[in-house]
Amino acid sequence: SEKLFMDMADRLAEDGWRELGYNYVNIDDCWSAKQRDASGQLVPDPKRFPRGIKALADYVHSRGLKLGIYADLGTFTCGGYPGTTLDHVEQDAQTFAQWGVDMLKLDGCYSSEQEQAEGYPRMSKALNTTGRPIVYSCSWPAYQGGLPPKVNYTILAEICNLWRNYGDIEDSWDSVLSIVDWFSAHQDVLQPAAGPGHWNDPDMLIIGNFGLSYEQSRSQMALWTVMAAPLLMSTDLRTISPSAKEILQNRLMIQINQDPLGIQGRRIVKEKFHIEVFLRPLSQAASALVFFSRRTDVPFRYTTSLAKLHFPGNAVYEVQDVYSGKIIGGLKTGDNFTVVVNPSGVVVWYLSPLAPPGRLLRQPGHRGGARPIVL
């Protein structure tokens, strides 16, 4: 109901979320009446949204936030409500703009491959024609398997701001792992497609719900951050636990996620003992490293060096542990170090180069020598 979305807007505005960049309140499926009106326009459910979507948008805007809405390029939405068939694309875009909507997720249930190929670009043009800035989230690639040749990421990047590549997330660790596995397996295709204004979307953060442990919650936040994923929470902010809130409000993690270069990270190491390492290049020659354990038994002591992770051979870094805040100064590329990674957990590092005067450091890219010094 409108009260739920107003409550969420209040929480975003009053509990420190808005200032960290969580500024969209997004309505998902099932918000509309079961029928369009006599003029063919979508109308909100009169019982749950008695004052209409425009009034809700006005309230959300009054709290310094933005409103997102859901539609489906098909006969029906996935939940069985009126869809946006091709003859309604322009009308619905105008309706959303008139209501003051700031983001549209366009799903793809009950539509054919041909209708999607025509409809997704057409909605992009229709949204732009309204003159209102509306972020456009496309589900198109998820319905076509997420990979070339059926999915053309060059075209997607031109018409969509973000897109769902893969299936819906569920409130479980297995679901998170399946998404990470798919994104890692196909990172050579997916990673180059992402950048400022056009993002791969592995689906929502489920931190704060029921399916993830504390360690798993920290892992999802870190893995989504290193994948340059849009951070879209799906949890009740009225009852969220302090620990989940602390994870979602980690300032350095959000800074890494929102890095202006917009380069999506990659998995660079997959060890046989179930430790994986992800690297994301950042602006100012900085980097983020995620050491991720798929183990379910005990904490694992993982020893490596920046040289083994292909950092420049002559570089020196200051390292900050993103979750603990601990700082390691003067870490040389060849220095061995050990991180202790909890089962299903992560250690996340933010690395800033300490460059000699007049010397530029390159981004991690080639192998250097190792010097066996344990920190």
Full-model pTM: 0.94
Q: If pLDDT is split at 50, 70 and 90, which confidence band does 20 have?
A: very high
Using DSSP's 3-state secondary structure scheme, residue 195 falls into strand
Q: Where in the chain is the domain with CATH 2.60.40.1180?
A: 266-353
Strand partners, 200: 163
Give the Cα separation of 250 and 259 in Å (integer).
14
Q: Is 168 a catalytic residue?
A: yes
CA distance readout (Å), 326 to 183, 242, 248:
30, 21, 19
What pLDDT is attached to residue 314?
Answer: 86
Residues 6 or more apart whose Cβ sits within 8 Å of residue 352: 284, 286, 317, 318, 319, 320
Q: pLDDT for 303-324, tens place per residue?
A: 999 999 999 888 999 999 999 9
Residues 373, 336 contacting (CB under 8 angstroms):
yes
Catalytic residue among 72, 102, 107, 203: 107
CATH fold of 266-353: Immunoglobulin-like (2.60.40)
Q: If pLDDT is split at 50, 70 and 90, which confidence band does 365 have?
A: very low
Mean pLDDT of 344-359: 82
Candidate CATH numbers 3.40.50.10440, 3.20.20.105, 3.30.70.270, 3.20.20.70; the one for domain 2-258: 3.20.20.70
Q: Where in the chain is the domain with CATH 3.20.20.70?
A: 2-258
> Would the pLDDT of 358 be above 80?
no
Give the Cα separation of 321 and 5 in Å (integer).
35
Look over the chain and give the mean of its residue pLDDT values, rounded to a whole number: 94
Residue count of the chain: 375
Strand partners, 278: 267, 290
What pLDDT is attached to residue 367?
Answer: 34
Q: pLDDT for 222-269, tens place per residue?
A: 999 999 999 999 999 999 999 999 999 999 999 999 999 999 999 999
What pLDDT is attached to residue 313?
Answer: 87
Q: What is the DSSP string of 108-172?
A: -TT--HHHHHHHHHHHHHHHHHHTS--EEEE-HHHHTTTSTTT--HHHHHHH-SEEE-SPPP-SS
